[in-house]
A and B are shown apart, each in its own frame.
Chain A
Amino acid sequence: MSDLAVTLTLCGLALVDAAFASWRTATGRDGRLSTPRREWVSFGWGVGAWATCLALIALACVPALRSIDTRSAELAHLVDGGRRMLGVYLPMAALVVFAVAVHLIGGTHDRRAAAMTIVLGPLTLLRPAVIAAGALVAAWPDPARLWLPALVTVASMVAIGPTLGWMRFRHLRWRRRPVG
């Protein structure tokens, strides 16, 4: 996989992950029926979160790339780390894509429910661990150079859900106004 392909694939995975994290954050908040508009709004917040994460990760890479003399070598190190990350993230992404496809177009509600109970539900719990594992695998061979981008990747991606929940729905926490 070329360097550009590694970079674009990682960015694409992060985009999809952020969009789903944002969507999950919006579900079960107020009991309203989902509508395409409401779901797209959630995905839109995810895109915003993704852009913020990318900016933070890029900032974390700046120290390594500061010196013009060593920039290309450092960049190669970073891309190698990204390649190792993909080794962890792509299998999970493939599972999620398969389960989402079954849930959306799987036909019977039995299959849709199975996609949720077997894959999507448990993987929601595993997601922070998988993100951390990917970052660890990426940074392991060269922690001195890669610990900061890896740490920022984990922190920003894991923080998407709670941050968006706080930004969008903190007014709903137990609902401030009286019911009825």
Chain B
Amino acid sequence: MWWRRDWAETLEVTDLLLAVDDDGRRLPVAVEEVAAAFEATGDAWGARIVRRLPRQGSHLDPDAVDRLLVAVHGELSRLTSDLGQPFRLRALLRPIVAELREQGHDGPIRVVDVGCGTGFTIRWLTAKGDLPTGVELVGCDLDPALVAEARRLADLDGIACRFEAADAFALDDPATILTSAGVIHHFRDDALRRFFAAHDPTHVQAFVHFDTTPHAPWLRYLGAWLFHLARMRLEISRHDGVVSAMRTHGDAELVAAAAAGAPWADVALLGPAGTGSPFVNVLRPVIGTIPALSAGVRRRLGSPTELRAAESLLEGR
């Protein structure tokens, strides 16, 4: 069955449309090279999508790629909204922020969204998040086109939040809390550990990273395929939506990488053991807090939530 393939090696189209050199200058992307990369993993669907994209000669048209990525992120914002992702993040940020204040953190609490895309979550949190004063919301993405669009949309709606085309781990004003959604499955093996190691404990007090819950592969495949077919208009969004759901990390693998990369943090997964209902827990967060916050955050999250500590998830490995 197709869902049994090696998804770790499968590619997402949107990951291969952009290439930059060490100075951040845009490099041309050869259509056939990208298509061949998909064919090499047995993904004819991905190769077909790439070959249909607008070209300039034998390379992808960079302006069309920018516009396409903006359109894809517009669709993603719909999915984000449908799944209640901003509500879920807000429900986690509030106790962390409250506990930080309780522990005497008087300065600004900077929440940075890693790989924010067009910044839907940050804009939503700013406009409707009702977070305490002193919380700064910043969206970061390495793609300048997405950040430009995030700023434009924030301006259109009069939302006062900040977006940076920058490495979220190397901001001049560093993050207090780092968050992301649908980002960590892009990092495999040691790269995942390095992602967590980039969280600088000098400033970072907590992190909350969401990714698809690892339900049974057939269920994840069917759910992702159906839901993206119903909610996404672009073929590329449907393809990458399914692939990203299938590339998610297992619970133990995820917390092991987080614990190894960020040894300063108490790491836990939020969600019922056994991954819970697939219709509710579509995304589940890995949470890390400095030890001084852990007990307070757990208490503030309340009894209905199930935080599974890293130790219990790693038993028997």
Contacts and interface: CB of A to CB of B under 8 A. Distances in A.
Whether A associates with B in a native complex is yes
B30 interface: no
Nearest to B120: A31
A113 interface: yes
Interface string B78-109: 11011110011001000000000000000000
Contact of A28 (B67, B77, B149): B77
A121 B157 contact: no
Contacts of B145: 179-180
A125 B226 contact: yes
Interface string A19-53: 00000000111111111000000000000000000
A124 to B, nearest CB: 4
Most chain A CB inside 10 Å of its own CB: which residue of B71, B79, B144? B71
A117 B282 contact: yes
A109 B84 contact: yes
Interface in B59-88: 63-64, 66-68, 70-71, 73-75, 77-79, 81-84, 87-88
B230 A27 contact: no
A31 B66 contact: no
Contact of B153 (A32, A116, A175, A178): A32
B142 to A, nearest CB: 14
A114 B280 contact: yes
A180 B156 contact: no
Interface in A136-180: 172-175, 178-180
A174 B236 CA distance: 12
Given A28-B74, A175-B71, A180-B145, A34 B84 contact: no
Interface residues of A, number: 29
Interface range on chain B (Cβ under 8 Å from partner) = 35 or more
Contacts of A30: 74, 153
Given A28-B77, A33-B123, A109-B87, A116 B82 contact: yes
B78 A125 contact: no
Given A27-B78, A30-B74, A113 B124 contact: no
Given A32-B153, A179-B145, A113 B74 contact: no
A174 B64 contact: yes
B279 A28 contact: no
B227 A117 contact: yes
Nearest to A27: B78
Contacts of A31: 70, 73-74, 77, 118, 120, 149, 153
B74 A29 contact: yes
B231 A113 contact: no
A148 to B, nearest CB: 31
Nearest to B128: A33
Nearest to B231: A121
B56 interface: no
Contacts of A118: 279
A112 interface: yes
Contacts of B71: 172-175
Interface of B: 63-64, 66-68, 70-71, 73-75, 77-79, 81-84, 87-88, 91, 118, 120, 123-124, 127-128, 144-145, 148-149, 153, 156-157, 159, 223, 226-227, 229-233, 277, 279-282
Interface of A: 27-35, 109-114, 116-118, 121-122, 124-125, 172-175, 178-180
24 contacts: A27-B81, A28-B77, A28-B232, A29-B74, A31-B153, A33-B127, A35-B157, A109-B84, A109-B88, A113-B282, A114-B279, A116-B82, A116-B83, A117-B223, A117-B227, A117-B282, A121-B227, A124-B230, A125-B229, A125-B230, A175-B71, A178-B67, A179-B148, A180-B145
Given A114-B280, A172-B71, A174-B64, 7 more contacts: A29-B74, A35-B157, A121-B231, A179-B67, A179-B145, A180-B66, A180-B148
